[in-house]
Amino acid sequence: MIRNMTSWTIFIFGMSGDLAKRQIIPALYALFQIRKKTGHIFTIIGAGHDASTVEAIIDSSKPFIEKIDEQTLSDFVDACSYYHVDFDNPQNFADFVKHIMMQKDALSDNRLAYMAVPADYFCSLTKALTAAHVLERGNTQHHIVYEKPFGWDRNSAQEINGCIAHVIDQNQIYRIDHYLTKGLVSNIILMRFSNIIFEPVWNHSHIDHVEIILDESIGIEGRGSYYDRYGALKDVVQNHMLQMLALIAMEEPKSIDEKDIEEKKVEVLKQVKIKEVVLGQYEGYQKEPAVNPQSTTETFVACKLTIDLPRWLNVPFYLRTGKNLNQKLTAIIITFKEMKSCFIKTADQCAPNVLTITMSPDEGFRLLLNAKKPYSADEVTTAAMDFCYSCLFGPETPQAYVTLLQSIFAGDHSVSVSSQEIDYQWSIIDAIKAHSFPILPYKKNSQGPAAAIKLLSQKDHV
């Protein structure tokens, strides 16, 4: 079947940077490969701080590109152009924009500007692009994407939101969080509200505690100048982890419309209370390239939070993330309360039911149940019910950034976080930062600082 093709001009600001190399370019290549199937064709105009070339940039992306076909890659390179631009120099950026607009007949009606640059540039670049009509306010074919972290604290996020609201409409804006496109994250709402076995027990009467884990075995991977300024709290807790918490804890939305979901997530985020925090830094971090040798930036966070809502009375939510840990695991673990059983004579309680939703490494979920041990009258064993996503739907579930770009092409705002959510997410981080918790050292390839292991094994009520 031959589809009508929709052509796009995609601008990538920060094309020579790390995010473009690891995520955006590989995702665009994957979409370029299937362009005849999706009907979306595009050309890419990139700009960045480095004096580089399209060939060199795409070459550096190669290790992150799946299934390279040399002919397709060469066609992809032909569809890209790159300009060395100094974003700190308004005149230099204005000259670049002028140059682009001199060839405006070559631009598609559908335009997407991707801000893969630090949030410091969001306001000035958006103003310059709209002033020159690269993006026109009110033109629903023109979109702008802002990478996370959106700002570096609540004040900065509010200022940026105020600035961009003057020049572009909300429905043209995507403040993205790539976790929202991960298969199982987007499945959380569906799973909670379309299975009658979950919703009636999804509360403090039945749930003992919730763990949200984003452990990484990788380090900062040459991103020292970015990471040292942000740290784990701003890099992943402010966004990915608080979004997972909001989805797990929110009330049922009126519909799956993003406005209804956002309203319910906000109700949760504004009631988060901080109980305990452990921050850590892996040994050797201060010697990483582009990191301050006296740096006090945290590369590990473990915290205990509660949510001041009737549904979650006294239920602790434990969050843990860190770089250079002993495992790569992204998961949400919901431990239900233990149950007395007259059946078991060998113990007072049955083991708790545990629901684990795993995003990485293997997408899926697992429910632990108690079952009778075969050939025994009163012995209990744990039976696991597994749902393996890749076993059912194949190993090629789309990468988060591919889904993200496809959602934007389709005008789907569910991958975007609202300014209100961002506001509350920053309030939580600002409040943790204000405490100046000590930064405890931990060994690479470990579970993090000992104090965190203790905190996470308490699992008591608050």
In the complex, the residues that contact ligand BG6 under the rule CB under 6 A are: 216, 235-236, 330, 360, 400
Pick the closest to residue 201 from 29, 44, 352 (CA basis).
352
b/e map 203-231, b = 16+ CB within 10 Å: ebeebbbbbbbbbbeebbeebbebbbbbb
Q: How far is the CB of 239 from ligand BG6 (least distance, A)?
A: 7
Residue number, 329 or 456, with CB nearest to ligand BG6? 329
Residue number, 113 or 116, with CB nearest to ligand BG6? 116
Q: How far is the CB of 211 from ligand BG6 (least distance, A)?
A: 16
Q: How many CB atoms lie within 10 A of CB 74?
A: 11
Residue number, 216 or 298, with CB nearest to ligand BG6? 216
CB half-sphere exposure, 287, CA atoms < 13 A: 3
324: exposed, middle or buried (Cβ count in 10 Å: 0-12, 13-18, 19+): buried
Q: How many CB atoms lie within 10 A of CB 260?
A: 13
Q: How far is the CB of 430 from ligand BG6 (least distance, A)?
A: 19
3-state secondary structure the chain: CCCCCEEEEEEEECCCCHHHHHHHHHHHHHHHHCHHHHCEEEEEEEEECCCCCHHHHHHHHHHHCCCCCHHHHHHHHHCEEEEECCCCCHHHHHHHHHHHHHCHHHCCCEEEEEECCCHHHHHHHHHHHHHCCCCCCCCCCEEEEECCCCCCCHHHHHHHHHHHHCCCCHHHEEEECHHHHCHHHHHHHHHHHHCCCCHHHCCCCCEEEEEEEEECCCCCCCCHHHHHHHHHHHHHHHHHHHHHHHHHHCCCCCCCCHHHHHHHHHHHHCCEEEEEEEEEEECCHHHCCCCCCCCCCCCEEEEEEEECCHHHCCCCEEEEEECCECCCEEEEEEEECCCECCCCCCCCECCCCEEEEEEECCCEEEEEEEEECCCCCCCEEEEEEEEEHHHHHCCCCCCHHHHHHHHHHCCCHHHECCHHHHHHHHHHHHHHHHCCCCEEEECCCECCCHHHHHHHHHCCCC
Residue number, 231 or 449, with CB nearest to ligand BG6? 231
Q: How far is the CB of 244 from ligand BG6 (least distance, A)?
A: 11
Q: How far is the CB of 223 from ligand BG6 (least distance, A)?
A: 7
Residue number, 19 or 428, with CB nearest to ligand BG6? 19
d(CA 167, CA 187): 34
Reply yes or no on whether 99 is catalytic. Answer: no
Residue number, 96 or 114, with CB nearest to ligand BG6? 114
Q: How far is the CB of 365 from ligand BG6 (least distance, A)?
A: 17
Q: How far is the CB of 30 from ligand BG6 (least distance, A)?
A: 15
Residue number, 119 or 236, with CB nearest to ligand BG6? 236
- Which of the following is catalytic: 40, 142, 240, 413? 240
Residue number, 205 or 390, with CB nearest to ligand BG6? 390
Q: Which residue is nearest to ligand BG6 (CB)?
A: 235
5: exposed, middle or buried (Cβ count in 10 Å: 0-12, 13-18, 19+): exposed
Residue number, 236 or 247, with CB nearest to ligand BG6? 236
Q: Point out the residues that are catalytic.
A: 240
